[in-house]
Structure formats: C-alpha cells, structure tokens
Amino acid sequence: MSRRVLIIDDEEDIREVAALSLETVAGWDVLVAGSGAAGILKARESHPDAILLDVMMPGMDGPTTFRELRSLPETAHIPVILLTAKVQAADQKRFSDLGVVKVMFKPFDPLVLAQEIAATLGWQEI
Amino acid sequence: MIALAFSLVGALILARFGSPPAQSHPWIFWFAAFWTLAQALLVAIALTSFRSALRERQGERQLQRVARLHQSILDSAGPMMIACDLSGRISLFNPAAERMLGYRTSEALGKLTAADLFPESEMARVGEQLAASMPALRTHPEIPIETAPSLLPYVRYVATFPASRVRGFEMRYKRRDGSTFPAMVYLSAARSSAGIVEGLVSIAVDLSATRRAEHALRESEERYRDLFENSAEMIATLSPRGRYLYVNPSWQALFGMDSPEFESLIGFESPFPPEVQAEAAALFHKALHGISVEHHPLRLQNSSGENVEVEASLSCRREESGPVSVRCIFRDVTQQNRRERRLRIQLVVSQIIAETTSIDEGLTRVLEALCGTFSCEFAALWTVDEAHHSIRPRICWCARGRSSEEFLTETQAMVLARGQGLPGMVWSLGKPCWISDVRQHPAFLRRTAARMNGYISSWAVPIRVGNQVIAVVECFSRQFMREDPDLMATVETVCNSVGQFMARAGQEARVRQLDRQKAVILNSVADGIIGVDSANRIAFANPAAARMMERTESELIGCKVHDLLHPPSSGCDATCLTRRAFQAAEGASGQDVYFRGGARSFPVEFSLMPMVEEGEPVGSVLSFRDISQRYALDHMKDEFISTVSHELRTPLTSIRGALGLLSAGLLGEVSEKATSLLRIAVANSDRLVRLINDILDLERMTSGRAPLAFRRIALDELVRQAMETMQPMAEAEDLYLASDPTSVYIEADSDRLLQVMTNLLSNAIKFSPPRSTVRIVIVHATDGVTISVIDEGRGVPADKLETIFDRFQQVDASDSRQKGGTGLGLAICRTIVHQHGGRIWAEQNGSRGAIFRFYLPERASLSSLAEEATQNQFEQKFG
C-alpha cells in the first residue's frame, strides 16, 4: 500500500527535491503545500499518512501550523515530522516539546530521508 | 701722731702679753689669732711710717730717736721679726724670735741662714706653692744674681707683688731643739734706696694656738662622729678659712682621698673637678656669710671617674665672735635622679608617641624632651637611607635663646656616608657615641659651626628596628659634659620606643595609602563588591553593589548575604550554588541570577573568594557584575547566528538533495564522468554543512552559551558508542578499532564527550594506513581518568603538537581538502575538555603514529557546575 506524505515548506526547491526523493526512493505518494494555511487545507482534504513540516515560514510558521493541525479533528491524528534548518539546542528543545514525532534537520540526504521517516513511524515497507 | 700710734701699739702688745693663754672657749682662740694678725699688720704699718719718717727728717737727733723707737718695736713686738740678705744670712732677729726659736740673737746674726730655721724641704715646698701662685708675667722683675737658689721663689714673690698685695702663707718653723711649729708668715722685701731688693724681711706669728683651737673644734665634732661615720651622706666640717677639719668615710670615698689628705688642702673647692670649683667656692662663701645652702644640685665625678650628682647643703655655725665652722652635707641623688629622668623621659616620649598623629611632629617633640631632660640645646634626628647608602637629617630642634643658626644650617645641608661624622659613626657602629668636646674631635665635621654657636659636648644614639639601625639621634650641649654611660643607656631605651613609633608610623602611612587606593578602587569599579564575615553577614559593600541591589551601603551592612541575593520569593532551595559556595567557604565563579529590591531578577557573573587567616575561614569577598545587557546582546547574537545558519542551510538542502538524487542515478543514466563530478559535489556540500555545524558549535561553546549537562556516566559505554559510530568509517578505510574495557564512572556531559571521542577517532582513521589499528585506552587515576586515542598513522611533528588544537591549524594545509576535515575538530575537542575542567594534548607514538590524550577529573568543579546551572536558569527565564 502506497503511503501518502504531505510536505509543507515555503521553499519550492526544497519541496521539489524532498518530493522527488520520497517518490523515487520509496515510491510514496507525495503532496506538497507552500504555506501553513495551504498545508492545513490539503491535509483536511487528502488525509495524508504523515506530514513533513518546515518551521520557518512566512505567515503561519511550523509550530503554529502544527498546533492548528492538532486542533482539527480530521488532522489531529496525523503524525507530524518537523524538518528544520534551525539546529540550535534551544530551538531543538522547543520543537520536541511541541509534541511532534520527530525533528529532522536540513540538509538531509535524499537517499535516506524516506528510510528515516519510515523508521520513525514504524512503517515496514522499505 | 706717730708717737701716739706707736704708744698705742705698745699698749696693745702689752695687753696681748698680759692675756692668759685661752683654751677653754673657741672664741678666745679666734680672738687671739685675730689679735696676733692685727699686731703684725700694725708693726708693718709702723715700719713703713718709720721709713717715711727717715726720708722726711734728716736730722741726727731725730734719726737717733727713730732708731730707738725701731729697736723698742723690735724688742717688744709679739711676732717674730727676722730679716736676711740675699744669700740667706740672718741680719735681724728680734726677742720674740729668740723666744719662739730658742736661739739667742748673738747666735743667730751672721751665723745662721734662713734654711736653719725650717725643717728639711719646707722651704722648697712653700717655694713651689708660691711659684704656683704667681702669674706668668711677660716681664719678670729684676732679681739680683747673688740670690741663693733656695730663696729665689721668695725673692721673686716679694718682687712681683706690691707690699699691699702680699698675702700671708703658712710655714713650719724648726726650733733649736728640733721641734717644729706652724706659723703664718708675712714676707716683704728690704730694698736699697734705689729700690733694688737687698734682702727679705719676715714677720711670723705662731699658729700653734690656732691649731689647738682647730683641734678642739675637731674634738667637739667627735661627739657626732658615730653618727657621721656610718652615714651614707657625705659630711665634711670646715674651718671658716676653708680648711677641712673633719670628713666622714662617705666624703672620703666620694673624692678618693683620706682625712690627712683633706687636712692638707687649702680650700673647700680644692678636691672638686675644675669645672665646678668656682661653683663650690661660691656655695662655701654663701654659707660662711650666713646664707644657708639647701639641696643645691652639683655634678661631680667620683674617684672612679663616674658621674655623681649630689644635693649640697651647707650651713655655718656661728658664735658671737663670728663664724666657727661650716658644715657641709652632700646627699648622693645620682640613682634617684637617673631613675626620675629615665621615668620622666620614658613617660614623656610614650605620651608623645601615643598622642601624635604626624610622625615629624612627634619626633620633634621627642627631640625637645631629650634636650630638656639632659641639658642640651640642639638635637637632630638623622634617618638612614639604605637605598642611597647615606644618612641625612630629617628633623632638627634648637632651644630658644642663643642662636644656633650656623650649626643648624650646616647640619641641615649634610648628607653623610656610613661611618662619616658622628651620625655616620653611630650608624656604622650600631651603638652610642659620646664626644665630650666636639671642638677638638677630629672625626666631628661641624667643628667650626659648633665653635661659633658655643656647642661643646655631644652624644648620639642609634634608633633600631630589630637589628637594623634606621635612624640616629644626636644632642648637643653648651656645657662640658663628661661621658655618661647611664644617660646613653636611658636614651637607648627611649630610642627603642621611638624606633617602634617610626616603624609603626611608616606602616600606618602605607596602610593609609593602601586604604585610600582601596577606597578609590572600590568606589570606582563598576562591579559590585561585597565582603562578608564568617557568619555570612555583609561587612562592607561598595557603591556599585548598593546601586545594583537598589539599597544604600549602610542598609546592606549586617544583612545575611544569601537572603539579600536570593530572597525567599526567589524560590531557591538547598541546591542553590551561591548558598553552597558561601556555606562551604570555597572559591567559586560563574553566572547566577540575583534579585534587586527583593523582587526583580537580573543575571550576574560572579566570583567568590574565601578569606582565610591562619588556616581559619574569616569570611569571603563576592564580586559580581550585572550582565543583563550582555545577555541581551548574546541573545541577539544567538538570533543572528540561528538565522544565518538557517539561511545557509536552506539553499544547501536543495543543492545536497538534488546532487544526492542525481548521483544515485535514480533519475536516469548519468555518464561515469558526470557521476564522479556529482560525487565530488555531494562530498563538498557535506563538508560545507559540517563546517557550518562546527563553526556554530565552537562559537556557542566558547561564548559559554552551550551549557554542559553533567551526569554520572559509564566511560566504557561511551567508548563503545563512539566506536560503533565510527565503525562504518573505519571499515571503509580498512582499519581496525580496538579498546580495552575498563569500567569507570565520571561526571560529564555524555553528548559532548562522545563528540570529543568521535572527533579524535575520525582524525585517527583519516590519517592511518590501511590494515592498521586505532585503539582507545582508558587509564584510571585517583582523581580522574586519562583517555588515549592511539594510531599508527603519519604522526604529528613535534613543532605542531601544541598548535594543532588551534582553529584551522592542521598538520598540512591540504588536509582539510583531502580528508574532508573542517580544521575545527581539535579546537572543539579542547573546548569541551576544558569545560569539563580537564586538559588535552598530543604526543608522538614512538616512531610511528600519534597519541591524543585527554584527562578528565572525576568530579566536575563547582564553577563549571555553576555555569551550567545559570545557563539552565536563563534558558527558563529569558529563553
């Protein structure tokens, strides 16, 4: 069964690379959104199995989007992985306190990204 | 007139002869003696008148009458009248002489010489006395050459003095039967009409009766003898003429003479030292004239040459006829005076030292007191200048009155070397010096000025601190003063106190200076400084501390220091590091949060230094600095770095992702060359990411904003983890990793320590040849562990062993490119090890390979813990 993963990132290049990586390496179905608001909308429409969420985004940032997703009944159960370029200790601690399943750091290796996500979420397919 | 005078003389002489020899009452003796003297004088007057009569009246008749008169005077006169020519032959011998000496006139005239009338050597003895009494005249009177040698002093005596100034003197006469008697002799010259001395005329009065009277007086003194003999006071009884009649043993001991010696003296003052003779004679005459002398101070030397101070009391015993005897009592007050002087000067000096605040004023008053006590008029204090090997005057004092200007000016201008002049001498000898006469002393340099201002005697005493002479006191007197060891001993005692005073004053001046400096420093520093006592109560606080705590300095004094910094509302508990540091009286430093005005917190950087005296903690000093501003800046910097990091990583993410996908060939076939280029691009983008990570890490660690999370960890477990992490890299290089399992627990931040180990392992792997081994060895010491990473690679040159821990300092500049390192790995390792309170170093592994070792203490130090705790607090409060 193909997994559906939603990537929410304001950087189009990163969206594209990440989507390509997950599609080609793991064969997952990848949805993308360029902002927090668009991401929430897409999540409510398409019920992805997991969400890769950027932190630093104009308008609604990652943590706000995450809290919003949590507050909505139809998205509250979807596991969220933060994908961030913010690597400082204070930031990391703040992120893990949010309640996300994992914080992953940019830049990532496109060949092992899918593997790490699957390992985190306990998906067996890969 | 003359006839009348002469008949009167005759009557008086008859009256003299008629009187019975007086024995029972002293006044009678005195009367007799006086009477005899009066007769002698009258006879002399008569003779003079007779000569003038001869000159005036040339008539034969008159001459005969005068000759008859002359003869009757000679015949009836009581005193002996004897004349002789210059060879000594007797030419006149009156009946009184016949009676007293036992020769007939016929036996004496022309047959006896003057020498026959005296005991052996008596003429010579008296001749010497007369010679001594004569002034040294510039022109000596003409003495006829035929004069016999034995008569020479007598002839010179009468020729020198006019008749009016001839004084009587005592001589012993010898009777025909050989017995002797004392007599008072009045001598005059027989002159020719031209005034040339032709012979001597003597009129002598028997003093036996007078001597008997003195003897009787002496015997009457015997009654008091027992009383006097054992008296400690010196007692002497003298005749009104100044002859010693009685001296008690104490008196004899004082002058070192026995009774007969005193009896042979001619005046009261004779046994005294020359410088007090005039004073003694004056006292005697005062007493003789009925003014009694009481407790008059006199300074003498005893027979051993020691200075003796006495109180002299003299009184005269009188009867109707006049003074009978003079009683003189000396009380030895030397010891008493010394004691009093010593006590007085010590008291005065200790008062001065206690009262004065200015050292120069105090020393001036000490000099004044010394002069006042020891009869000096000028004093100077010289201080030793060890640095310049010289001694120079610091303070001079002169008494009012006679000017000391020249001496003062010369003294003030002097700088002496060791051993030079009086002060230099005392400095070099280290003991007192006494110069009785500075005007004569060759070593005394200020002789001329001393002479001008009348200074005679001087003494100088060293002032010591311990064994070192730091100054010299010298005093000058216009009186002649004999060396007085006791005075110098007293002054030395005083100078000890003065030395302590000078040392103390010097120290106090230094302390005051330091206090001023300290106050300036404490008042001007921006850091808060608080001193606490052993009970942790605030003993002092500087203005900056008061300002930061929003209290006044006086409000802070006495407060419990921890309660002030962490009020109850701050919620600090037993783990509070500030509390622990104060209680343990240990040194600590780091960062903390204090509360001002009891409520508002502010971040501080603090340092606590315990004060220990003789092994006992007596308190501590806390200095702290408000780092709110710095913290705000740090926060901004963090933000900036975070943003920069984010902005660098974002494009890198796309690049790295794209390259990764391309190089894996997942998006279609890529030529071999393109694949190779893509691999290079991937490796370098990875390296760029590591570089960014390392720079951020190092920056955060060195700025103190990467707190360590200390935990008790098993070191062998950590080593295992590190090896596991590095295993893929080792396998890729075809290397073996090895370790010897040692179970050790230490307090450390495991993530950071892991970073150190992986960094070191990664380095070792990079620089090792294939199929070699990289080993980790743990050595457990008493208070810590040493972890060594040993490889068999190319090693580190000796000159790079230190520098490779600096940033971007690799053994070879091409290493970072070839091996993919960032050049920051070892710098990061060193920073982490230092944060653990340890150290890291590199060694050469014999001929092949390198060893990187780091030592970690078993327990993290308080300061590193404090830093960590503060960081955690900040993260919560300001993060």
- Specify whether B155 is located in the same domain as B247: no
When scoring B646, B656, B696, B752 by the number of chain A Cβ atoms within 10 A, the one with the most, hence best to mutate, is B646
Q: What is the DSSP letter of B858?
A: S
Give residue B137's pLDDT band: very low, low, confident or very high (50, 70, 90). low
Residue B230 CA from chain centroid, whole number? 46
> A-chain residues within 8 Å CB-CB of B657?
14, 17-18, 20-21, 107-108, 110
In chain A, which residues touch B (CB < 8 A)?
A: 11, 13-14, 16-18, 20-21, 24-25, 56, 85-91, 93, 105-111
In this prediction, residue B11 carries a pLDDT of 44
Contact of B522 with chain A, judged by CB distance below 8 Å, is answered with no
Show which of B480, B510, B540 is a domain's final residue: B510
| Residue B532 touches partner A, C-beta closer than 8 Å | no
Confidence of residue B879 (pLDDT cuts 50, 70, 90): very low
In terms of phi and psi (left: phi > 0; alpha: psi -120 to 50; beta: otherwise), the region of B569 is: alpha
Cβ atoms within 10 Å of B10's Cβ, excluding its own? 14
B655 touching chain A per CB within 8 A: yes
Q: Is residue B97 domain-resident?
A: yes
Confidence of residue B44 (pLDDT cuts 50, 70, 90): low
Going by pLDDT thresholds of 50, 70 and 90, the confidence category of residue B862 is: very low
The region, left, alpha or beta by phi > 0 then psi within -120 to 50, assigned to residue A47 is left
Mean pLDDT for all residues in chain B: 83
Q: What is the mean pLDDT of residues B724-753?
A: 88
How many contacts, defined by CB atoms under 8 Å, are there between A and B?
Answer: 83
CB of B654 less than 8 A from some CB of A? yes
Same domain, B647 and B776: no
Point out the domain boundary residue: B316, B332, B348. B332
Poorest-confidence range of B14-23, B229-238, B825-834?
B14-23
Average pLDDT over every residue of B775-786: 88
Which residues in chain A are closer than 8 Å to B638, comparing Cβ atoms? 88, 90
Band (pLDDT 50/70/90 cuts) for residue B861 is low
* Pair (B152, B238) in one structural domain: no
Look up residue B42 and give its two tokens: 């009258």
User: Of the spans A77-81, A105-109, B193-197, B743-747, which averages the highest pLDDT?
Assistant: A77-81
- Please indicate whether, in this complex, the C-beta atoms of A106 and B666 are within 8 angstroms of each other: no
- Alpha-helical regions (H) of B413-484: 421-429, 447-453
B140 secondary structure, DSSP code = P
**CA–CA dist B401, B585 (Å, integer):** 67
Q: Are residues B642 and B686 in the same domain?
A: yes
Q: Is B728 on the interface with A (CB under 8 A)?
A: no
The confidence score (pLDDT) of residue B737 equals 92
The mean-pLDDT minimum among B185-199, B397-411, B564-578 falls in B564-578
pLDDT top residue among B108 and B7? B108
Percentage, residues of chain B above pLDDT 90: 21
Please give, one letter per residue, the 3-state secondary structure of B561-599. Answer: HHHHHCCHHHCCCCCCHHHHHHHHCCCEEEEEEEEECCC
Q: Which residues of chain A have pLDDT under 50?
A: none
Name the most confidently modeled range: B162-166, B639-643, B812-816.
B639-643
Which residue would you say has higher pLDDT here, B56 or B292? B292
| pLDDT at B842 (0 to 100) | 93
Q: How far is A74 from chain B (nearest CA, A)?
A: 31
pLDDT band at B231 (very low <50, low <70, confident <90, very high): confident
What are the chain A neighbours of B684 within 8 Å (beta carbons)? none
Average pLDDT over residues B384-400: 92
**Alpha-carbon gap: B597 to the closest alpha carbon of chain A (Å):** 30
Residue B667 and residue A20: Cβ atoms within 8 Å? yes
The CATH code of the domain that includes B542 is: 3.30.450.20
Q: Looking at residue A117, what is its pLDDT?
A: 93
d(CA B202, CA B97): 11
Residue B562: the pLDDT is: 86
Do B70 and B94 have their domain in common?
yes
Question: Please, which pLDDT band fits residue B798 given cuts at 50, 70 and 90?
Answer: confident
Least confident of A69-73, B63-67, B750-754: B63-67
pLDDT confidence tier of residue B784, bands split at 50, 70 and 90: confident
Q: Calculate the dihedral angle through the C-alpha atoms of B746, B750, B752, B757, rounding to the nearest 10 degrees.
A: 80
Q: What is the pLDDT of residue B263?
A: 82
Residue B638 has pLDDT above 80, yes or no: no
Q: Does B350 share its domain with B378?
A: yes
pLDDT at B815 (0 to 100): 65
More confident residue, B237 or B862: B237
For position B30, what pLDDT does the model report?
Answer: 61
CATH number of the domain that residue B768 is part of: 3.30.565.10
CA-nearest of B559, B532, B541 to B617 is B532
**At residue B435, what are phi and psi to the nearest 5 degrees?**
-125, 110
pLDDT score of B32: 60
pLDDT: which is higher, B645 or B851? B851
Task: Using the predicted structure, report yes or no on whether residue B9 has a pLDDT greater than 50.
Answer: no
In a domain, B506, yes or no: yes
The verdict on B135 and B234 lying in the same domain is no
* Yes or no, beta carbons of B657 and A88 under 8 Å apart: no
pLDDT for residue B868 is more than 80: no
CB–CB contact A107 B642 (8 Å):
no
Q: Evaluate whether residue B150 is within a structural domain.
A: yes
Cα–Cα distance, B804 to B325 (Å, whole number) = 115
What number is the average pLDDT over the span B389-393?
93
Q: Is residue B515 part of a domain?
A: no
Q: Given pLDDT bands bounded at 50, 70 and 90, which one contains residue B645?
A: confident
Do B265 and B389 lie in one domain? The reply is no
Q: Is the pLDDT of residue B3 over 60?
A: no
Looking at the domain assignment, is residue B36 inside a domain?
yes
Residue ranges making up the domain that contains B227:
223-332
Instruction: Look up residue B714 and give its two tokens.
Output: 């098993």
Q: Report CB contact under 8 Å: B642, A13.
A: no
Check whether residue B293 and residue B373 sit in a common domain: no
Q: Is residue B847 one of the residues assigned to a domain?
A: yes
Question: Based on the domain organization, do B622 and B635 belong to the same domain?
Answer: no
Mean pLDDT of B488-513: 87
pLDDT > 80? residue B818: no
Statement: residue B38 has pLDDT above 70:
no
**Amino acid B135: pLDDT:** 66
Of B626, B658, B686, the residue at which a domain comes to its end is: B626
Within 8 A of A14 by CB-CB distance, chain B residues are 650, 653-654, 657
Whether the pLDDT of residue B7 is over 80: the answer is no
pLDDT at B475: 95
- pLDDT class of B219 with cuts at 50, 70, 90: confident
In chain B, which residues have their Cβ closer than 8 Å to the Cβ of A13? 651, 654, 658
- pLDDT grade for B2, boundaries at 50, 70 and 90: very low
Find the residue in B nearest to A88 (Cα).
B642
Within a domain: B153:
yes
**Highest mean pLDDT, choosing among B161-165, B393-397, B484-488, B560-564:** B393-397
Mean pLDDT score, B754-780: 91
Whether the per-residue pLDDT at B140 is higher than 80: the answer is no
Asked whether residue B518 is domain-assigned, the answer is no
Give how far A113 is from chain B: nearest CA, Å. 10
Q: Among B317, B302, B248, which residue's Cα sits nearest to residue B271?
A: B302
**In a shared domain, residues B480 and B343:** yes
Q: What is the pLDDT of residue B25?
A: 55
Domains and CATH numbers, chain A: 4-109 (3.40.50.2300)
Task: Find out whether A52 and A77 touch, Cβ atoms under 8 Å.
Answer: no
Count of domains observed in chain B: 6
pLDDT recorded at residue B586: 73
Instruction: Please give the C-alpha separations between residue B354 and each of B252, B339, B494, B496, B539, in angstroms, as whole numbers.
Output: 47, 22, 14, 15, 29
Q: CB burial class (10 A; 0-12, 13-18, 19+) of residue B94? A: buried
Percent of chain B with pLDDT over 70: 87
- Is the per-residue pLDDT at B153 higher than 60? yes
CB contact under 8 A, A24 and B655: no
What are the b/e assignments for B685-700, b being 16+ CB within 10 Å? bbbbbebbbbbbbbeb
pLDDT at B877: 43
Same domain, B462 and B572: no
Most confident of the following: B169-173, B281-285, B563-567: B281-285
